[in-house]
Amino acid sequence: MAELQGRYDVIVIGAGPSGSVAATSLANYGYRVLVLEQQHFPRFSIGESLLPQSMEFLEQAGMLQAVVEVGFQYKNGAAFCRGHEYDYFDFRQKFSEGWGTTFQVQRGRFDKTLADVAEQRGVEIRYGQVVTAVDQCASDIAVEVQPEQGDAYRVSADFLLDGSGFGRVLPRLLNLEKASQLGTRIALFTHIEDNISDKRFDRNKILITVHPENPEIWYWLIPFSDGRASVGVVLPRSLYDDVSMGQQATLQRYIGEGGMLSEILANAVFDTPVRTLGGYSCDVNSLYGERFALLGNAGEFLDPVFSSGVTIALKSATLAAATVHRQLQGLEPDWQNEYAAPLKTGIDTFRVFVEGWYDGRLQDVIFADNKGDAIKAMISSILAGYAWDTRNPYVREPNRLTTLAELCRA
């Protein structure tokens, strides 16, 4: 067995947004926290368009000012295009109270900013560390770690949080994974020098484009503050498997079929290799267990269409840190009712909207002329990340979306 090299109050797997915010929140309570991160920062990641609800979670952890000072691209809404149809949601005109603006970020810089704040608050972060095993004992929980160099070692803690994202360390090691009910899709994406001069494009909003002929194909265009942008297309897996050309040619071919999007990107320079991400929708049997809990994508990831990933990650980090604090204080919290159920409220709201996007209900609402300002404000709140505001009828009863779609079609 590997040598035991230290004991902490809390160990966090992963230094991404969920891990850094959870670790910082726990350090703010005075706990000794160790973060084990497999990669080295800065590193590339997608999930670049934040939602305004995220700002509240960053503010609660005392991390917002550092993010503001980076100078990321300002964002106040989401625009939608289908062929040459166009509509948008201004997040400042929403049903829920709270932040109405946020940022579009290069995740390498954003994630490193959060990790640096965590270290400044006293969190110990070790990069280049792979967690290979978990040992749940009666008095603590230990992990075995393989560093890039040197021998494997063990560290233990009173509690373990998994913020490993798509790495899904604990779901794999503890056999917690289960199949997602969402369809299998693949995303092709890259960063470009966008050279956009088209006045129809608002750099303060993410642009989501629907393929004019196939509503299951959609694109994102996320502008950054330096004249560059993130662009991607999401396809049913079957369509990608039928394509014999290379990844960049495939991405550019589909952009060429994107109507107004193609015109907006007419002068774009594709100067970065195209990446793919497939099979990203995932779920687990439980979000918590004896001395551990799952954060963000390590627990469940829905779909990139509404940029909900980071918001769910930060919500989970905020809830988990508060619940761990109560547990370490000997208060015996109810993890189901204090963590899993509240987190699921927002996830389930987003899930209905993701399903509604792909089956056409939400697209019919978005592109309808007759949805009215009050309805638009309620939908805008959810698109802005306020999926936990149960005063909103579409959070309290997400399936109202079906009735709304029928009304809009009429």
Torsion of CA 269, 17, 298, 247, to 10 degrees: 10
Q: How sure is the predictor about 381, in pLDDT bands with cuts at 50, 70 and 90?
A: very high
How does the average pLDDT of the chain come out, rounded?
93
Residue 212 has pLDDT above 90, yes or no: yes
In 168-315, the DSSP E strands lie at: 177-178, 185-193, 205-210, 218-223, 228-236, 275-278, 283-284, 288-289, 292-294
Per cent of the chain over pLDDT 90 is 82
Residue 1 has pLDDT above 70, yes or no: no
DSSP state of 50: -
Residue 278 has pLDDT above 90, yes or no: no
Q: How many residues does the chain have?
A: 410
Is the Cβ–Cβ distance between 293 and 287 less than 8 Å?
yes
Q: Report residue 205 as tokens.
A: 């909003």
Q: How sure is the predictor about 188, in pLDDT bands with cuts at 50, 70 and 90?
A: very high
Question: Domains along the chain?
Answer: 3-74+96-179+281-346 (3.50.50.60), 185-278 (3.30.9.100)
Burial readout 268-291 (b: 16 or more C-beta within 10 A, e: otherwise)? bebeeebeeeeebbbbbebbbbeb
Residue 144 has pLDDT above 70, yes or no: yes
Give the model's pLDDT for residue 137.
Answer: 85
Residue 377 has pLDDT above 80, yes or no: yes
Lowest mean pLDDT among 117-126, 191-200, 276-285, 293-302: 276-285
Give the model's pLDDT for residue 238.
Answer: 83
Residue 300 has pLDDT above 80, yes or no: no
Residue 129 has pLDDT above 70, yes or no: yes
What's the rounded mean pLDDT across residues 18-34? 98
Residue 316 has pLDDT above 70, yes or no: yes
**Integer Cα distance of 55 and 333 in angstroms:** 27
Give the model's pLDDT for residue 244.
Answer: 67
**Integer Cα distance of 53 and 348 in angstroms:** 16
At 228-253, the pLDDT tens digits run: 999 999 998 888 766 667 899 999 99
At 90-118, the pLDDT tens digits run: 999 999 999 999 999 999 999 999 999 99
**Integer Cα distance of 120 and 28 in angstroms:** 11
Residue 373 has pLDDT above 80, yes or no: yes
Q: Which residue has the tokens 């009828």?
A: 393
Give the model's pLDDT for residue 239.
Answer: 83
Handedness of CA 72, 74, 77, 82 (dihedral sign): negative
End-to-end Cα distance, the chain:
67
Give the model's pLDDT for residue 280.
Answer: 65
Is the Cβ–Cβ distance between 78 and 385 less than 8 Å?
no
Is the Cβ–Cβ distance between 307 and 50 less than 8 Å?
yes
Torsion of CA 185, 188, 191, 196, to 10 degrees: -90
Give the model's pLDDT for residue 61.
Answer: 98
What's the rounded mean pLDDT across residues 385-395? 97
Burial readout 180-202 (b: 16 or more C-beta within 10 A, e: otherwise)? bebeebbbbbbbbebebeeeebe
What's the rounded mean pLDDT across residues 58-75? 98
Give the model's pLDDT for residue 166.
Answer: 85
